Amino acid sequence: MDNYIDRVLSAVQREPDTAPATENAFDNTYLGRLPLAMAYVPFQRWGSIYDPCRALQRGTIFPDLDLPFCGRELI
């Protein structure tokens, strides 16, 4: 999907990494290039998926989106 946000991020990824590591490094290299006052979720990329049994059990076919609640786990 070649939209504006993806072009901005691709351009950033091609630049050499000369910025010193600071607590704002992430914003400076990626998010900081994006327009303010807006929310951005990265597009997921297709990868390997769970087998059907595991997929149903985990609630998704995508290992990348398998983010369980660990606050309390009896079983």
Look-up of token digits 């010193």: 20
Q: CB 18 → another protein: shortest distance, Å?
A: 26
Closest CA to 33 of 3, 9, 1, 14: 9
> Looking at beta carbons only, is 20 or 42 nearer to another protein?
42
- Chain residues binding another protein by CB under 8 A are 1, 3-5, 35, 37-41, 43-44, 46, 49, 52-53, 55-62, 65-69, 71-72, 74-75
Tokens of 26: 């992430």
Coil, strand or helix: which one is 31?
Answer: helix
CA distance 10 to 30: 9
> Looking at beta carbons only, is 23 or 72 nearer to another protein?
72
Q: CB 39 → another protein: shortest distance, Å?
A: 6
